[in-house]
Structure formats: C-alpha cells, structure tokens
Amino acid sequence: MVKKISIKKVKNRIYIIILSTLIFSIITSSIGCNIKQQLFKIPEKTKEVVNIRSNINISPINDVIGNIEEEFLYDIKREELITSAFEGIIKSTDEKFPGLLSTQDKDELEKVKDKYPEDSLDSIVEIIRKLIEKKDELKSDDLIMYANESIVKSLQIKDKYAYFFYPENYKIIMEDYSGHISGVGMYVNQIDEKIVVVKPIENTPAYRAGIKADDVIISVDGQSIESKNIDEVIALIRGKTGTKVTIIFFRPETNKKFTKELIREEIEIPNLIIEILNNKIGYVRYIRFIEGGANRLKNELEKLSDQGIEALILDLRGNTGGLLSDTVNLGQLFINRGNIVIVKEKADTITYRGKDTPYAQFPLVVIVDKYSASASEILAGALQDHHRAKLVGNTTFVKGKVKMIFSL
C-alpha cells in the first residue's frame, strides 16, 4: 500500500529549526555519530574573536552569544543569555565541587550581576576571577565551558534539539559520519524521551548479544539516561576499543529489564547494501547519509545499469538521517529540475535544486518506516513531490529539520 510520509511538502516550504550546538575547544575530526537521527549542516565561516579587556579571555562566551544572535531562528535577548551563563557557572561549580561554595558565597556571587549592565559580559569576568581566587583547582577554561553549556541549555525552551558537547563527547559524536567508530554496533533513536534501539548492526557486539529493535536503553555503566539527550547517551556507549560497557535495557515485548556487558570494537558502519532481484530490479538499502555516500551510490548505479536493471527499490527503513549535503546529492541522482529542499534560516533562504542526471526517468520505489527520519524524510518528500517515486511503508518519524553545528 502506498502512503504519504508525514512531513510537509518539500517544495516551497520551510523545513528548519536552527540548532546552535556550541563547543568550546578546537577539535579537528571527521564528521560522525553512530546512532543519531539528526541532519547536520556545518557552516564554514570564520568567527570574529572579541578580546575582552581582562587577563581572563571570555571571547568564547562572546562568540557563542554572537552565533545565537546571528543564527538562532527564534529571537532571544542578549541579557537572558548572559544571565544563563552567569547562573550556569555558579550551578556547575557547586555541583562539581560540593561544599566549595557556602550559601553566603552564592549570595555574594549573585550580587556581582547587579554591579554591571544586564547586557555586559563584565559580570562574567568578575565571577570567574572570584571563583579562581576561591579555589586554585578551578580553571577559567572550565568555568567558560560551564557558562556555554548553560547558555545552550537555555535554548531548549524554544528548540529541544539544542545540545552542548564537551570536547571529548564532540569528538565521539562526530566520528560516525566517517563510517568508522569504536562502539557496540547499534542504531538508536530518541522517541518520546526514550532512547530506543532501531536495529543492531550485523556481526557486532550488540548483534551477538541478542539486542533487538525496540529495546529501550535504561542506563549505561550505572548512569541513568533519564533526561539525557540521544547524543549524550551515544557518548556514554562509545569508547576505546577493547573496553567494557554495561547497559541495562527494557524489552517491551517481554516487559522485562535485562543487562548486557559488551566489549567495544572497531566497527565499520555499512552505508549501502545492494542486490539484484528477479526481473532485473535493483535493490539498494541506504543506511545512513554520510560524507561521500551519494557518490558511492552513483558508482553502484552505473554498475547496476551495466548489468541491465530496469527499475530500482531504494530502502530507507531505519535510516535515521545524516548530512544535508549527502541528502541533496542523492536527490540530484534522481531529480533533474525543480527544488529538492528549501532551507529557511534566520537571515537567508537557501534553495537546493535538481540537476542533469541520467536517472531522471528511472523507475523508482522508496520504502520507509517509523524510523525513517530527517534526511530520509526530506529525500522521500522531494521524490514524492516530483512524482519521481512511489512511497511504500509506514508513517515516518516526522523530523524535517536541519541542525547547525558551531565549533569554537
């Protein structure tokens, strides 16, 4: 049975909630994240560094606030962001160094805000200086990190996908789009505040341990994942090859919890599974939108054409998303004119269009399911709008959003 997927029409519609995921640190890494449904667009712009007159360089906080003011889709006041930074420093310091701050200390620190204009960062400089004087172990870089984390979390009122990553977690999250990770080998998604297994990857620790689709993750190494976002959970599961991770799952099928102790391995994430079915029909399982994925599919299509296939099935079931660039490139394999997707940003509108392709008339069927999300939905929606493919399957995840990553 053919069903429309439950996302808005791609043509001439807006698909975006801008995410400001902000990191303090310079990290070079390939793009990636094993089990993440999100769709990334990484801006390539040089950010202006503002030097504050102080021996404490808080330009990273200034950059974060500047990025939000410039790029965040929703209006937000600068003074609200500065207040979030100020309160985040006190709160995180108190949590990470229990007993360091007395009630009187906190009251005195709170009074610092009243000395400066609400839209000034001078209060941040002073509170960082006072805390460093209070305890030698406190470092300005860490306190700045606390501030930026608090700023980003404050955005979640308007954008639930606003996440902050510390450098070590950022590096882990970004590995997946390179196609190689160190982990246990399972795709997951965030559904109704739960982290749910989409499927284990064959011949990986999770697969061999009997993990199944729809299993729900309860805790990782004794840490409850309640209230954690999917990327935080991924970072907990991933780690150095050969190390152990203990995960507690809940299986709805049996209504029981169970524990698995898994050893992390180097895993090559498959992107394409290709077969030739009877009657000269090509079958492509597209697992993830990763860097270079569409180019690989193009090469495989050339081989399939040489073998005489007359139609193609594109299977996007369980494909939880990936790179916007790969989504557009893949769409351009089958759509030769018209819009693939229009992205509405705060200040700009970006239109991605089809281009000349030998496969513009190639018969195509796309299969989707409840785990087809984000990039999968944008591609499927474009193919449907242009009458380039029949969509078969179930209602999709409903996440047609583009996220932006800002790295400091």
> How high is the mean pLDDT in each 10-residue block of the chain (408 residues)?
40 33 30 34 38 69 94 92 97 92 92 93 95 87 96 93 86 72 90 90 95 96 90 90 97 96 90 89 93 93 93 94 93 96 91 96 96 93 96 89 81
* Closest C-alpha to 183, from 102, 128, 243: 243
Catalytic residue from among 399, 401, 403, 407: 399
Contact at 8 Å (CB) between 399 and 368? Answer: no
pLDDT tens digit sequence for 261-298: 999 999 887 788 899 998 899 999 999 898 899 999 99
DSSP for residue 176 = G
399 is catalytic: yes
| Residue 303 and residue 262 share a domain | no
224 is catalytic: no
| Residue 392 and residue 286 share a domain | yes
Asked if residue 219 belongs to a domain, the reply is yes
End-to-end CA distance of the chain: 48
Asked if residue 168 belongs to a domain, the reply is no
Using alpha carbons only, what angle is made at residue 345 by residues 83 and 406, rounded to the nearest 5 degrees? 55
Asked if residue 173 belongs to a domain, the reply is no
| Residue 283 and residue 229 share a domain | no
Looking up tokens 């709170």 gives: 110
Asked if residue 24 belongs to a domain, the reply is no
Confidence at residue 232, expressed as pLDDT on a 0 to 100 scale = 87
* 59-71 and 78-96 helices, crossing angle to 10°: 130
Query: Given 268, 283, 307, which residue is the final one in a domain?
Result: 268
Confidence at residue 173, expressed as pLDDT on a 0 to 100 scale = 73
Q: What share of the chain is helix, strand, coil (3-state, %, to 5)?
A: 35, 25, 40
| Residue 250 and residue 146 share a domain | no
Domain CATH code at residue 336? 3.90.226.10
pLDDT tens digit sequence for 370-403: 989 999 999 999 999 999 999 999 999 987 678 8
| Residue 387 and residue 301 share a domain | yes
Asked if residue 314 belongs to a domain, the reply is yes
DSSP-assigned states of every residue in 241-310: TT-EEEEEEEETTTTEEEEEEEE-EEEEPP-EEEEEEGGGEEEEEE--B-TTHHHHHHHHHHHHHHTT--
Confidence at residue 176, expressed as pLDDT on a 0 to 100 scale = 67
| Residue 320 and residue 201 share a domain | no
| Residue 189 and residue 68 share a domain | no
Query: Given 106, 128, 160, which residue is the final one in a domain?
Result: 160
Contact at 8 Å (CB) between 320 and 189? Answer: yes
Confidence at residue 367, expressed as pLDDT on a 0 to 100 scale = 98
| Residue 156 and residue 122 share a domain | yes
Asked if residue 175 belongs to a domain, the reply is no
Confidence at residue 215, expressed as pLDDT on a 0 to 100 scale = 97
Contact residues for 177 (Cβ-Cβ < 8 A; gap 6+):
30, 31, 32, 33, 40, 288, 290, 291, 322, 323
Amino acid making up residue 3: K
| Residue 138 and residue 234 share a domain | no
* Closest C-alpha to 109, from 140, 138, 130: 130
Asked if residue 7 belongs to a domain, the reply is no
Confidence at residue 17, expressed as pLDDT on a 0 to 100 scale = 30
Query: Given 243, 268, 293, which residue is the final one in a domain?
Result: 268
| Residue 313 and residue 250 share a domain | no
- Report pTM: 0.72
Asked if residue 398 belongs to a domain, the reply is yes
CA 208 to CA 202: how far, in whole Å? 8
Taking the CA atoms of residue 47, residue 126, residue 122 and residue 63 in that order, the dihedral angle to the nearest 10 degrees is 10
| Residue 394 and residue 308 share a domain | yes
Q: What is the CA radius of gyration of the chain?
A: 23
Catalytic residue from among 142, 176, 231, 385: 385
Instruction: Please count the other Cβ atoms lying within 10 Å of the Cβ belonging to residue 203.
Output: 10
**Domain tally, the chain:** 3
Tell whether the torsion through CA atoms of 278, 280, 281 and 284 is positive or negative. positive
Residue 96 lies in domain: 42-160
385 is catalytic: yes
| Residue 299 and residue 263 share a domain | no
Catalytic residue from among 20, 325, 374, 407: 374
Contact at 8 Å (CB) between 3 and 394? Answer: yes
Using alpha carbons only, what angle is made at residue 357 by residues 351 and 359, rounded to the nearest 5 degrees? 120
Task: Give backbone dihedrals phi and psi of 42, rounded to 5 degrees, phi first.
Answer: -100, 115
